[in-house]
Structures are given as C-alpha cells and as structure tokens.
Structure 1
Amino acid sequence: MASEIAKVRERGFGRRVGPGRRPALLVVDLTRAFTAPEASLGADMAPAIDEANRLLDAAHAAGIPVHLSAIAYDDPRTQSGIWRAKITGLDALILGSEGVEQDPRLRRAPSDRILVKRFASCFFGTALAEDLRADGVDTLIIAGCTTSGCVRASAVDACSYGFRTIVAREATADRLLDAHAQSLIDIDLKYGDVMPVDDIVGYLGAVQAVA
C-alpha cells in the first residue's frame, strides 16, 4: 500500500493545501446515537472524543467559530429519502430524542453552534457554507464520525466550496478500521490535508496569538 500511495503522490496527488488565516472547527455527528457502542449506529468513539476535546479547547481559546452537527428528523420515513433503505438505524434519529444529543463528554461552549442535517454532508441542505463565509472563514478543520461517511462527505464538499480543508487524524473515527484508514488516505490525496491533532492545536495557538 505504501508504495502504491508513493506512486500516486509522484503523479501530483496529495499536495499540501495548508491552513489559512481564519479557521473554523466542525465536529461531525459525535452524538449519542453514534458514540454509544451498543446503539445500532454506534461504535466506541472514546479516543476520538478525547482528541476532539483538545480541538474544542484550542478553538475556544482562539475564539474561532465552532459548529457541531447532528443528523435528526421530524419523521425519518419522509425526510431521509432513499438513505433510509440503506440504514435502518436512521429511524431512531428523531428531533428531541436522546440519540441526537451531542455526546456529554464533549467540552462544548455556549457559543458553539449546532447544525442539524438530514444526510451525510454537513453542507448538503444546510446553511453551513454561507455561515462560514459570513464569518470570513477560509479554513475548515473537521473532526468526528464516521470517517468513511459524514466526515468524508463533508470534507469533499468543503473542498468543493473552496475552503482549505483540514481533517484531524486522531479526532476522527469509524465502525470499520479499514474504512477509516482508507478514507483518511483518500481525503489526504484528493480533498484536504489530514493532520495530527498536535499540529492543529499548534496552529490554533498561533491563530490565537495573532488575534
């Protein structure tokens, strides 16, 4: 695999985008339905939550916008479209129910914004792109779950909307380790920079110092 990746990089993939001057943090779907291992949609996300908290702390200290997403429906049968045919667990994601609440282990701040979505990407059918532009954001840092699903979809759309896209390696998680690893490779080669949380925290510290 390493040699194959190296060959692809030699052909011009995986160039560094680098962070810009005005970042925002997006924490994708670390809600109870996804972070409870016993839930139909869930898995053990504890390590990713710990790393996401480091990003939240750094983002709050830097005073940058923070968005946390949740998939939720008034009626999944009519609002989740064909996606419901693939994933029966969507039926549990009812607005106001415990499953769509942010995981209580997350160190949130009152200024954090909750983004409710119906499909994988945090951009699809939401005002996220407009909100980021209104805040002057040029860089979107992404954490959360799942790496192969909503994180990847959001990273692809962030790139498509023209934001410098940074995915936090240790602050993302998936139900399948192989899918997690391959998705990070794909994102890093084609859509954004996959970076260690340590490096992102350092970058946010520099943003704070400038501010």
Structure 2
Amino acid sequence: MSDDLSENYARAFGRRVGFGDKLALIVIDMVEAYFNPECDLYMGSDASLLSTLRVREAARAAGVPVILTNVVYHPLALDGGRFFEKSKPLRYFLQGNPMGAWPKGLVPEADELIVSKQYPSAFFGTSLASTLTAMGVDGVMLTGVSTSGCVRATCVDAMSHGFRTSVIAEACGDRHPAPHEANLFDMNAKYADVVSEAETIAHLNGLAAKRG
C-alpha cells in the first residue's frame, strides 16, 4: 500500500465516467443564508455562487435544463424530522425566513425547476429522479452548498439512481476548506467525476456549438 494518498486512491479507484449524453444542471441549496455574514451558515465567500452563475449561463446556452433546490420547512417545523432536530442552522429555512431567499443573480427563470426538500439529498422524498428520467437525462452536473452536506448526499443518491454524476469543484462551497477538499476527494474517488469550472464550461460550449 502506498503512503501517498492520491497514489493509493488512484490505484484503487481512478476511473472517470464522463458527463453523459443528456445533461441536467442541479444547483443545490444556494440561498441567502450561505452568503450573508449575519447567518451561522455564512461561508465567507461568494466564489461558489459566482462560479455557479457562470456554469448556469453556459448550461442555458447549451439547452441543458437547470434545476434549483432549496430547503423549506413548515413554520412549526412539522416536516423537519431528525434532521431539523440535529442541525441547529436549519431554523433559517422555516418558511418565510429571508435567509432562505435566492441570492442576487440566482433568481430562478420561468423555465427552471425548483425542487424543495427537507433532507440533505435532493432525491430523498422528492420527484427529482422521476423528473430527470422523464427528461431522458443520463448525466447530472452538481453545484451548490455545502460540499460536505447536501452536495455530497445528492451526489451519492444521483449515482445510486443511475446518473453519471459530475461535481464542479469551484461551484461548490463549505464553511471551511478542510471538509470541502476532503469531500471532493472522496466523491471523486467513489461516486462522481470532480471536474473544474473550465472543463465544464468548455464541454457546455461544445454542446451549444452543436445546437447551432
């Protein structure tokens, strides 16, 4: 066994699956809470949001459907379950809380789908898998927050539902670089291709060119 982590994992895993033939972009939980310094969830930077906006623009130009998720709870948290019980910051996502609003630049367009959820994965308790299948999608690109939480949970479920899964590194964010990098590393090894914003946009630009 190699003592070098990257070499060790490359030997054990080290395989890419590609973007897929028909893509969808899933933007996970990018709401005001993560970009507002008054909130416990504040990440200290809007870099992941800005990256997501660039990817979203390229996806729309390529005719790739865009799906945005958010977390919304009954005003009394009746649908919060153990997740709400465990994670204190989820109080910001009670229905009507301004921290649950879309941040500047990410207001959904009329042709973009919103999937509201109560748990980490965008697939758990929602119709997302059926919707993607009905669209003929076989590959999903993930951006969003947080890398170690809802992005990771959605990534694992996307793969489990049979979708080729790409996680766009710069377009994901967390409150500390350690969990961000560790989870990107692990997702890339086992569940998805972790790709750069530049690679993703180049691929989308190629799809847009084919559309004419």
TM over 0.5: same fold? yes
Shift of 1:77: 3.2
1-side partners of 2:96 and 2:86: how far apart?
23
Q: In the comparison of the two structures, how many residue pairs are matched?
A: 210
Matched, 1:86 2:86: yes
| Aligned partner of residue 84 in structure 2, secondary structure | helix
Q: Secondary structure at the match of 2:55?
A: helix
* Corresponding residue SS for 1:44: coil
> In structure 2, what is the equivalent of residue 7 of structure 1?
8
Once the two structures are TM-superposed, the CA of residue 206 in structure 1 deviates from its matched residue by 1.5
**Separation in structure 2 between the aligned mates of residue 142 and residue 102 of structure 1, nearest angstrom:** 17
- Is residue 77–residue 94 contact of structure 2 (8 Å, CA) maintained in 1? no
- Superposed, 1:93-132 pairs within 5 Å as 93-106=93-106, 108-132=108-132
* SS of corresponding position for 1:77: coil
107-116 or 52-61: which moved more?
107-116
Displacement of 1:161 in angstroms is 0.3
Superposed counterparts of 1:127-206, under 5 Å: 127-206=127-206
Deviation at 1:98, TM superposition (A): 1.7
Unaligned runs of 5+ in 1: none
What is the Cα-based RMSD across aligned positions, in Å?
1.7
Residues 59/107 of structure 1: CA separation in 2 closer, same or farther (3 Å cut): farther
What amino acid is aligned across from residue 5 of structure 2 in structure 1? E
Q: Tell me, in whole angstroms, the C-alpha distance in 2 between the residues paired with 1:87 and 1:76.
A: 15
Q: Is the 8 A contact 1:60 1:109 kept in 2?
A: no
The one-letter code of the counterpart of 1:112 is E
Cα deviation per residue 1:153-187 (whole Å; 9 max; x = unaligned)? 00000000000000001000001210000000000
| Residue identity in the other structure for 2:8 | K
TM-score by length of 2: 0.93
Listed one character per residue, the Cα deviations across residues 12-61 of structure 1 (whole Å, up to 9, x for unaligned) are: x1310111111000111110122213202222341111100111100110
CA–CA distance in 1 between the matches of 2:3 and 2:191? 19
